[in-house]
A and B are shown apart, each in its own frame.
Chain A
Amino acid sequence: MRNKKYAVVQTSEITPEMWGASATRQGMARESPDGSLSLLKFDGPVPAGLEGHSLAEIKVILSGPEWMTSESDHGA
């Protein structure tokens, strides 16, 4: 699906081919707080083997516990 252009990938499993197909720049992807997951965005189809998500779906995923930090202010 053309509109399912987002994918959540295990950071350690991202291949050069994924970076090449992605609109996300290598080393600058949004990562989960522990760094284990990365959010990739594709201009074209999501590569075979990856589960594509729409923007609405990915926002739900990003609001989940794996992507949230504590609500502390971290001081100033």
Chain B
Amino acid sequence: MTYKSAFKAKHNLFFDGAADKLESDPGTGTGLSNLNPEYTDSFSITAWVYLSRDYHMPILSRDSGANSVKSWALGIEQGGPRVVYRMIGTTYASTLTVMKNNVNLPLQRWIQVGFVYDADTAGFTPGTDTTDNACRLYTSGIPEERVNQYGSGNNLNSALAQTDGTSRIKVGYSNYGYHYIGQWFDGTMSNLAFWGQALSDDQMAEVYYGRNGDVGPGDLRKHSAQSSLVSWWIGSASDSTSTIYDQIGSHDLTATSITSSNFVKAGP
């Protein structure tokens, strides 16, 4: 593995767990460029998070309601906390994926989290097999042992990803489902990214060891898999209180209740 050059900005965004949120509505167009994959599309999500409390807290989610992946979400589950991923397909019983890592995460420390959906996983048939066979979770660039859960009523909760009749990309909140109070991110995020490929273990580690091999978020435009980056947010000081810019693609996020004090200096 070759680690790339230094990333200068320490750019992070605080979410107050009450009113702060980001969203964009790219419509119902499908495909990776719209962050709206089908089951046959491999993709990955990476982020750095600093958790203020142990609670149900969405990080990034997308509703579509229109294609084979109706909604997906990466978030935090209370009771650890753990990083959790949920994906809902058109056929609930066979394609619902709900999984979390098997180790409690620390509070008030920067943690890198990652998710990979690899549609080309050996022995996996997209749209037929349960999707969790093709999923991997990471923390600090390392593959995590995971726990899979299924069915409605489990505590991984619909707040993370639920078809709510919209097609929005949402960061830091969810407007539908289980426990409204649990639908707002309480903590800080940095370098949130959606990739249009299944990152390998080495590539995920490269996201973690971004600064010449030191721990910290790298400039993802210099990552060895940068050509597959679809969106990269909270990675540049060009953000404003009204717009968090997509540094790679076109999915700029509209900010609600973000003020200058939300931009935190200290970071991973």
Q: Which residue of B lies closest to A32 (CB)?
A: B180
**A41 and B153 contact, CB distance less than 8 A:** no
How many CB-defined contacts (below 8 Å) exist between A and B? 82
Give every chain A residue within 8 A of B162 (Cβ-Cβ). 74, 76
B178 within 8 Å of A (CB atoms): yes
Complex contacts, A74 vs chain B, CB 8 Å? 152, 158, 162, 176-178
B250 part of interface (Cβ distance < 8 Å): no
Count of chain B residues with Cβ under 8 Å from any Cβ of A? 35
CA distance A68 to B178 in the complex (A): 10
Q: Is the interface of B mostly helix, strand, loop or mixed?
A: loop
Nearest A residue to B93 via CB reads A76
Contact with B along A27-40 (1 / 0, CB 8 A): 01110010000011
Question: Which of chain A's residues has its CB closest to B88's CB?
Answer: A76
A5 CA to B21 CA, complexed, in Å: 16
User: Which chain A residues lie closer than 8 Å to B180 at the CB level?
Assistant: 33, 62, 67-69
* Residues 212-268 (chain B) with a chain A CB within 8 angstroms: 241-242, 254-261
1/0 per residue, CB under 8 A from B, across A63-76: the answer is 10001110111111
Please name 30 pairs of A and B residues whose Cβ atoms are closer than 8 Å in the assembled complex, sorted by A: A6-B19, A23-B241, A23-B259, A24-B19, A24-B256, A24-B257, A25-B242, A25-B255, A28-B23, A28-B254, A29-B19, A30-B21, A30-B184, A41-B18, A41-B257, A43-B259, A43-B261, A55-B18, A59-B18, A62-B180, A67-B180, A67-B181, A68-B180, A73-B158, A73-B177, A73-B178, A74-B152, A75-B152, A76-B88, A76-B151
Binding site for B on A (CB under 8 A): 6, 23-25, 28-30, 33, 39-41, 43, 55, 58-59, 62-63, 67-69, 71-76
